[in-house]
Amino acid sequence: MPVIFSKQLKFLIKPTVILGFCTFIFASSTVANNSTTFTVGIVPQFETQRLHAIWRPILTHLEQSTGLEFKLRGSPSIPEFEREFLQGKFDFVYMNPFHILLANKKHGYIPLVRDHGKKLYGVLVTRKDSLIKNIQDLEGKTIAFPAPNALGASLLIRADLKNIHNININPVYVKTHDSVYLTVALNQAAAGGGVQKTFNNQNPQLRETLNILYTTRKIEAHPFAAHPRIPENIITRVQKALLEMEKTKHGKQLLSQIPIKQIGPATMDDYLPLSTMGLEDFYIKD
């Protein structure tokens, strides 16, 4: 049994359900072995057209490298994406770090690769001319977030505020990162949650009115994962093909669109620290 599979198996099951789990693996693998076509789910970070523009060339590259076929399965929203991976609908899936905890617990999804070149974290911004000068000044204040379950821009920030700093806030949800920054700039919220990338992408005139007050704890980046019904030899083949993309200029360019700066192997060990952060207290089930 390959190391990538056996090392993580202990995180997938509880002793009391070993028999049922093994039966599920056998039945599902039999189905998977009869086909070389696999569904791929992608967390909808961007609108559908952009996601397809990023991921279809990557999947085509994997098809050429592995001899397999990959069908990109789009989800119209993050809640729908969550429902689908919690139902085990994806053979392979690119998801955020908190999602892999849920997917691993529910179905035993196995992380294969992640970005080794960057970590994920949230940033809390205020207006530069704000009277709020430190994190304690946010007690009782209204803070804007894009959505309750946005990992870096919402879950990590709200967990840090409550569990580390014991600060109570009034959260409001404004749908997008762009709206968060604008809400703060217009003095409609005392602060707002985002991530470094979306903050950097703001119009310079807007960005110059804002200040990063706080940065959350950092966690490992999004994994690309496989459902355990997929045969081990297929999982190994796909993982190897993804890792080898790093070795060519074209492959690196494709990965940079995700974006992944430096691809490398991933295991459940990378994501277990999230289970101690109290994120589940702030996660809202649809």
Position 11 scores a pLDDT of 38
Q: Among candidates 247, 263, 269, which has minimal Cα distance to 4? A: 269
Q: Among candidates 239, 266, 244, 268, which has minimal Cα distance to 254? A: 244
Domain ranges of the chain: 3-118+220-276, 122-217
Are 264 and 61 spatial neighbours (Cβ–Cβ below 8 Å)? no
pLDDT, tens digit only, all 286 positions of the chain: 444 444 444 334 333 333 333 323 323 333 444 568 999 999 987 778 888 999 999 999 999 999 999 999 988 888 889 999 999 999 999 999 999 999 999 999 999 999 999 999 999 999 999 999 999 999 999 999 998 988 999 999 999 999 999 999 999 999 889 999 999 999 999 999 999 988 998 999 999 999 999 999 999 999 999 999 999 999 999 999 999 999 999 999 999 999 899 999 999 999 999 999 999 999 988 6
Two structure tokens written together for 84: 């689908």
Position 12 scores a pLDDT of 40
Identical fold between 3-118+220-276 and 122-217: yes
Two structure tokens written together for 224: 């690309």
Q: Which CATH superfamily does the domain covering 122-217 fall into?
A: Periplasmic binding protein-like II (3.40.190.10)
Distance CA 273, CA 241 (A): 28
Q: Who's near 284: CB < 8 A, 6+ residues apart?
A: 148, 149
Position 4 scores a pLDDT of 46
Position 36 scores a pLDDT of 85
Stated pTM of the model: 0.79
Position 34 scores a pLDDT of 55
Q: Among candidates 196, 90, 75, 99, which has minimal Cα distance to 155? A: 99
Position 117 scores a pLDDT of 95
Distance CA 69, CA 153 (A): 35
CATH topology for the 3-118+220-276 domain: D-Maltodextrin-Binding Protein; domain 2 (3.40.190)
